[in-house]
Structure 1
Amino acid sequence: MGNALRLLYGHCCKPTTTESDSLGPHGVSAATVGVSALARDLFHFENTAQVPVGLNQHVVSSKKAQANWYRKLVESWREARPPPKTAEEAARLVIKTLKNHQKADVEGLLAFYGLPLPQTLVQLSTGVPTSLPQGVQYEFQTLPVIATILVIYFLGTQGVQYELQTLPVDAKAVADGDTVTVYVSTADPRESSNVPTEVQAAIIQREKAREKRNYAKADELHKKIIDAGYRVLQFQNEDVLARKYRIRLRGIDAPESKMPYGKESKDELVKLLQGKCLRVLVYGTDRYGRCVGDIYSNGIFAQEVMLKKGCAWHYTAYDQRPELAKWEREAQMKRVGLWASSNPEKPWEWRKDRREGR
């Protein structure tokens, strides 16, 4: 963990001269309070066994107890895969690690780092929805494979035919709040048997061109591979041939990019998916050729997050799951996200108006 913390601290937590007038209690500016500050202090504790100066002002327990917290947090951070990158992820790690400690201490520690308090975090479910719609055709699952009894259960009872593995998501692959492009490695047995002959030939020719340093030819061959719906990606320092899939999140409809709250909705999905390996249960294909499915990011059900944070509507025309309706109602009652507006325009009505030229 030391290397990961050192990297994060080195890039994020060294205050500049211009920041010196606004340093927080733990030696970083307001701009860097959060994940980077916590990483810095854990790295410092790992090397010195000293808790940060000023923490006493925020918590009620002794220095000895504080040291115990940091030992636990260091271990939790070491075991986290991947380590926290957002304030919410860091807050959840702290809350989970210190769940048996005094509420005042946990909230004080979070406040010390400017992290979200427990009552402000969206409470997420675990596992798959209990009322998966009928007609699931197949499942994508991320690298590494995450096998659970629940998934096996639903594979057997809901018509899922097979399971695929996807590579980490690039932020640019998120089109809006309900659509993302993913890539599935052709090392997957099902994918490897379906790679077109012309793509296989282009891969071989591209490698030969690269060996001869004929990069113009290699790029030309890669374009041919891309046009066929594949791409050569770098994964774990190796070139991986992957197949492209466009995924439409089933059961939700997010604001279009030109609509109010469209950017915020997309940004939330980027934050949830970027750099993650996703598990996707696919139900079918829409008229635009996109796979329609449920997305899981590190075990978190993406549609649940988007609905609970008010970043999307429940798309009742295509999905009647009661969980989705419940999560939408929760966001409406809290007036979060798009529900902060008294009468947000529904995206399907917005699209209809544009088609009819209104």
Structure 2
Amino acid sequence: MGNILRVLYERCVEPITSEESGSLGPHGVSAATIGVSALAHDLFNFEITSQVPEGLNQHVKSSRKAQANWYRKISEAWRQARPPPNTAEEATRLIVETLKGHQKADVEGLLAFYGLPLPHTIVQISAGVPTSLPEGVLFEMQTLPVDARAVADGDTITVYVSTDSPRESACVPRDVQEAAVQRTQARAERNYKEADALHKKIINAGYRVINLPNNEEVLARKYRIRLRGIDAPEGEMPYGEESKQELLKLVQGKSLRILVYGEDQYGRSVGDIYSNGIFVQEVMLKKGGAWHYNAYDQRLELSTWEREARAKRVGLWAAPNPEKPWEWRKDRREGR
């Protein structure tokens, strides 16, 4: 447990620049990193010393003994999380769920101590992972952890699925299998030029050899995924970059469950995406990161989530009259 927390702490803490130095929290890290990194640091320290951080008494009313009980519970919940929280919202959800039987003022005080968002500012998730495959699903996939570079915009990502999975193992082309074996042999012989050439052949066939954190290599198939039912601003449009970053926060480093319903005209698999049990399209709509693409998906809940974001004027709805991405693309095609 301690090692997990230490690694997360070291990963989250970023160097503090002179521009950031004026906005430091109680742990001496920048405002951008204070939440998750400081909490990870204190949980790691608690595992070693059983001591809660100094200064917490200024934010909560309960005794030090009660505070220690919180940290024990949070440490256990953190250990069981797969993967552990990596964003401020994920950390808030974990704390709120773990301490849901405790005083509201204490929970909010603990969140404030770490600069984490309060519960009422977090998007409330109503849709969970289906317990059975919904009608219309062609197949489902469980991806390898998603790389940051895989997110093209707010509604399209590239994922990889291990060929060890039953569905994939049955359809790997023979030449790809042979190239993967030959590449392993070439690397063992330190013939890296040949290994690189073989990997290029694998990539051109729609596969890739992925290096996992445990130094294991796995052959994986590439899929481009179009998020079903939403349409995000294009990168050149207002709020295009913000939409992309919102999706990135939801999927980066996560192994996703994707329910595939079909394929679009560009060869992308169209599907619903679940990240740590969260329906990604729901969050994107509720945060104003995308439009409901009702020309292709008439689900009433998607329309409801878009209306909620419009009413709150969050995300792209902060603009008085945001341009519809499908109209923007049409104008570009027609040279307007």
Normalising by the residue count of structure 1, what TM-score does the alignment of the two structures yield? 0.88
Instruction: Select 1:344's aligned residue among 304, 322, 325.
Output: 322
| Superposed displacement of residue 331, structure 1 | 0.5
Work out the CA distance in 2 between the residues paired with 1:32 and 1:23: 10
Work out the CA distance in 1 between the residues paired with 2:288 and 2:108: 25
Q: Determine whether 1:101 maps to 2:102.
A: yes
- Give the direction of change, closer, same or farther, for the CA distance of 1:66–1:308 in structure 2 (3 Å limit): same
Instruction: Select 1:224's aligned residue among 201, 226, 239.
Output: 201
Identity of aligned residues (%): 75
| Superposed displacement of residue 28, structure 1 | 4.4
Work out the CA distance in 2 between the residues paired with 1:271 and 1:192: 30
Q: Secondary structure at the match of 1:233?
A: strand
Q: Tell me which stretches of 4 or more aligned residues in structure 1 moved more than 6 Å.
A: 14-22
| Superposed displacement of residue 207, structure 1 | 2.5
The unaligned stretches of length 5 or more in structure 2 are: none
Once the two structures are overlaid, the 10-residue window that deviates more, 98-107 or 39-48, is 39-48
| Superposed displacement of residue 77, structure 1 | 1.3
Kept in 1: contact 2:232–2:291 (CA 8 A): yes
Structure 1 match to 2:60:
59
Q: Secondary structure at the match of 2:145?
A: coil
Work out the CA distance in 2 between the residues paired with 1:273 and 1:62: 38
Q: Determine whether 1:323 maps to 2:301.
A: yes
Structure 2 match to 1:195:
172
- Give the direction of change, closer, same or farther, for the CA distance of 1:239–1:331 in structure 2 (3 Å limit): same
Kept in 2: contact 1:13–1:40 (CA 8 A): no
Once the two structures are overlaid, the 10-residue window that deviates more, 290-299 or 11-20, is 11-20
Structure 1 match to 2:234:
256
Counterpart residue type for residue 194 of structure 2 = K
Kept in 2: contact 1:26–1:52 (CA 8 A): no
| Superposed displacement of residue 24, structure 1 | 3.5
Q: Secondary structure at the match of 2:168?
A: helix
Once the two structures are overlaid, the 10-residue window that deviates more, 15-24 or 304-313, is 15-24
Work out the CA distance in 2 between the residues paired with 1:74 and 1:95: 13
Normalising by the residue count of structure 2, what TM-score does the alignment of the two structures yield? 0.93
Which string of whole-angstrom CA distances, capped at 9 and with x for unpartnered residues, describes residues 83-133 of structure 1? Answer: 1111111111111111111111111111111000011000012424xxxxx
Counterpart residue type for residue 310 of structure 2 = Q
Which string of whole-angstrom CA distances, capped at 9 and with x for unpartnered residues, describes residues 226-282 of structure 1? Answer: 111111111342221111111000100000000000000001111111111111111
Q: Secondary structure at the match of 1:34?
A: helix
Work out the CA distance in 2 between the residues paired with 1:295 and 1:17: 36
Q: Secondary structure at the match of 1:280?
A: strand
Q: Secondary structure at the match of 1:237?
A: coil
Work out the CA distance in 2 between the residues paired with 1:281 and 1:10: 35
Work out the CA distance in 2 between the residues paired with 1:77 and 1:35: 11
Structure 2 match to 1:118:
119
How many residues were matched structurally? 334
Q: Secondary structure at the match of 1:37?
A: helix
Q: Determine whether 1:270 maps to 2:271.
A: no
Counterpart residue type for residue 205 of structure 1 = Q
The unaligned stretches of length 5 or more in structure 1 are: 129-149
Structure 2 match to 1:335:
313
Once the two structures are overlaid, the 10-residue window that deviates more, 89-98 or 15-24, is 15-24
Instruction: Select 2:145's aligned residue among 168, 171, 182.
Output: 168
Work out the CA distance in 1 between the residues paired with 2:307 and 2:223: 31
Q: Secondary structure at the match of 2:131?
A: helix
Structure 2 match to 1:91:
92
Structure 2 match to 1:143:
none
| Superposed displacement of residue 315, structure 1 | 0.2
Structure 1 match to 2:78:
77
| Superposed displacement of residue 14, structure 1 | 9.5
Counterpart residue type for residue 76 of structure 2 = E
| Superposed displacement of residue 31, structure 1 | 4.9
Q: Secondary structure at the match of 1:263?
A: helix
Q: Determine whether 1:247 maps to 2:225.
A: yes
Q: Secondary structure at the match of 1:180?
A: strand
